[in-house]
Amino acid sequence: MSGTLLSFCLMAVGARELSGEIHTSQVMLFRSALGLLVISFILLVTKNYSGFSSKRLGLHGLRNTFHFAGQYGWLLGITVLPLAEVFALEFTVPLWTAIIAWLFLGEAITMRKLAAIGLGLVGVLVCW
């Protein structure tokens, strides 16, 4: 968790510093290319390809489209908003995940979850 948090913070600061010189699309290109290289290297070393078969290739493509759009929005937000606001908005992701799971996956939303969502949104508004 610490390594993940450190990498997200470094990426946010790096993207913010480069925003005057490199367009968000270029940052996305470099980030995606580096990720592809790392994953390809891991696959070549381990020779374990079993996790790459799918019968729902279209859904994976749709998921990746939304993920790419989310990353683009996050990087764009870093360039135009204060970092504190970007991270305050980023902390709402679990709240939106619960709401979207309820809407699209039919997950039960209990009073406890509803209270957590409400308190989370109030917390973000206080920090904002």
**pLDDT tens digits for 4-58?**
888 888 888 888 888 888 888 888 898 889 989 998 999 889 888 777 777 888 8
- In the block, which residue shows the tokens 């993940």? 4
Residue 50 amino acid letter: S
Supply the pLDDT for residue 127. 66
Report the predicted TM-score, pTM, of the whole model to 2 decimal places: 0.70
Q: Is 106 helix (H, G, I), strand (E, B) or coil?
A: coil
Does residue 74 carry a pLDDT above 70? yes
CA atoms within 13 Å, Cβ hemisphere of 49: 4
Span 113-120, average pLDDT: 88
What are the helix and strand counts (H, E) for the chain? 6, 0
Confidence of residue 128 (pLDDT cuts 50, 70, 90): low
Residue 78 CB burial class (10 angstroms; 0-12, 13-18, ≥19): buried
